Structure 1
């Protein structure tokens, strides 16, 4: 047993090493940081009533800070996605090797996988931090009236929302497939038993009334058992966790919506 465990650990380590060995993450993060910094540097001159556009030195400071923050944030997100891929791959391997038992009455209300859903939620929180940074930049463009000149900046918001969705559902996907497969197998097993008992009762319609009554009661219980099993969860998170995830999604659009309202309300009051 020890040799098997060590072999599995070695395989898991190899998966992680293969995932982190390529250097494309650093190059992609650096490229993103440089492109975004150039964009910030070019647009700072067009911002009105901002201390960062009053002198070349503040603009340079903001540009350097943007380069550092975007690089760190990009590396964080890329490493996060890599970790999600590793976790998904490991869970997929384990679910293929072992039988997955659904535990719908587990106290954590997540089928016994609360730790996995908590991890997924935390990854979504990290993605939301990047989304809030982007939304703050968009808010500045909206409130200073330069949003129409740089409309393409708005495209980053749906990309960040998609990233949050991937960060949340990515770690849960393998577990979801395992839970769904286990549930379907249970339902098929109950359905086969129901069909067998129903056929037996149908064949003995002219037989003893007590036997017919017992058989009818059994298939009623099987039908109720099928309905109960059909309610088993197939995602390892509860409603409360999903609500928190939706709040992280709203963080991407909160500031831009506030900026739009600040622009629209004075126009509506003038009418």
Structure 2
């Protein structure tokens, strides 16, 4: 069987990805497996709660909670996709900037292992953060039936939050992985091709992994309506918005930092190439002005001068900010998603 693109630089596997790779009952689709193996208990619990307390629940709470549950269902797949598709494909495409395959293999192994390694500190941070949000939002939850006979569901809500923080929260190592990965790559001599079809010297692959990371992990913004509901219903806003701000900042940096640092590194490389070409041009031009009765030699010098000038123009005109229109469009989409969800929540709340 031929080696797939995403197999070549896949040196380690996140434990969530590993469980999705195993399959179940003949099912191999990672999205479906993520729901069956990770999310199904929470879906069943949400269904039971909704049936028992339907008359107590408000429409805003229902759809806000549904958005969050939707993310919980797709999150295992998103972790798998970053681990098994985004990273391996990036290292394959990196051949255009970093031609040494062994160097690429070493970097790939390092950051495959970095993402796959479980970090208690990350899980603990998100677990405590989410549990804190639930704690300060208990007044809103008790009005939704989680008191008295329904207090059991308050405890299951804490269990739900602990699951999100301890299991799914570790997926947020992804943005950190991308940031550190691109920082590492800029230490190498990147070979920028001024004639690359992307018009960016081949740097579009950096913009691509940055936006793919941003899109995957910004999907947790589906929880924003629920957080805004908690804040609007008496939750401690300092806690809710403080933790939300940390999340948004991490996602923002996962896109901004890689593109900026690569731009600066590429700019230094181009300045070096342009300076070298300027010196070549000056040398050849000086030779042309030196008396030479050999017409063939004279012609070769003028052709060389044209070649150097053409190379100079090619390098000087290439854009070194690794963004294409398609990348910017997807970035706008990832930014607009939480905004549109918030507007929808405000509009629906006013209607109801």
Decide: shared fold, TM above 0.5.
yes
Q: CA deviation at 1:248?
A: 1.1
Q: CA deviation at 1:244?
A: 0.9
Q: CA deviation at 1:191?
A: 4.6
| Residues in 1 aligned to 2:124 and 2:130: alpha-carbon distance in whole angstroms | 10
Q: Is the 8 A contact 1:20 1:82 kept in 2?
A: yes
Match of 2:123 in 1: 29
Q: Is the 8 A contact 2:129 2:243 kept in 1?
A: no
Match of 1:119 in 2: 209
Q: CA deviation at 1:136?
A: 2.5
Label 1:244 to 1:38 Cα distance change in 2 as closer, same or farther (>3 A).
same
Q: Is the 8 A contact 1:73 1:130 kept in 2?
A: no
Label 1:52 to 1:170 Cα distance change in 2 as closer, same or farther (>3 A).
farther
Q: Is the 8 A contact 1:120 1:171 kept in 2?
A: yes
Match of 2:331 in 1: 245
Q: CA deviation at 1:243?
A: 2.3
| Residues in 2 aligned to 1:107 and 1:252: alpha-carbon distance in whole angstroms | 34
Match of 1:141 in 2: 230
1:78 aligned onto 2:173:
yes
Residue-by-residue CA offset, 1:142-179 (whole Å, 9 max, x unaligned): 5x5436x4244223344333212222244445643442
Q: CA deviation at 1:125?
A: 1.5
Label 1:189 to 1:29 Cα distance change in 2 as closer, same or farther (>3 A).
same
Q: Is the 8 A contact 1:29 1:75 kept in 2?
A: yes
Q: Is the 8 A contact 1:161 1:249 kept in 2?
A: no
Label 1:258 to 1:130 Cα distance change in 2 as closer, same or farther (>3 A).
same
| Residues in 2 aligned to 1:227 and 1:233: alpha-carbon distance in whole angstroms | 12
Match of 1:212 in 2: none
The TM-score, its normalising length taken from structure 1, stands at 0.65
1:132 is aligned, of 222, 225, 230, to 222
Q: How does 1:17-96 map to 2 (within 5 A)?
A: 19=114, 25-47=119-141, 50-52=144-146, 55-82=150-177, 84-89=179-184, 91-93=185-187, 95-96=188-189
- In structure 1, list runs of 5 or more residues that go unmatched: 202-214, 267-271
1:176 is aligned, of 259, 263, 270, to 263
Count of aligned pairs: 240
Label 1:36 to 1:155 Cα distance change in 2 as closer, same or farther (>3 A).
same
| Residues in 1 aligned to 2:199 and 2:107: alpha-carbon distance in whole angstroms | 29
Residue-by-residue CA offset, 1:187-245 (whole Å, 9 max, x unaligned): 334555677799999xxxxxxxxxxxxx9xx89x95x9766643312123312202211
- In structure 2, list runs of 5 or more residues that go unmatched: 1-99, 289-301
Cα RMSD of the aligned pairs, angstroms, is 4.4
The TM-score, its normalising length taken from structure 2, stands at 0.53
Q: Is the 8 A contact 2:203 2:321 kept in 1?
A: no
Q: CA deviation at 1:77?
A: 0.7
1:234 is aligned, of 290, 300, 320, to 320
Q: Is the 8 A contact 1:117 1:172 kept in 2?
A: yes
Q: CA deviation at 1:114?
A: 4.1
1:187 is aligned, of 274, 291, 294, to 274
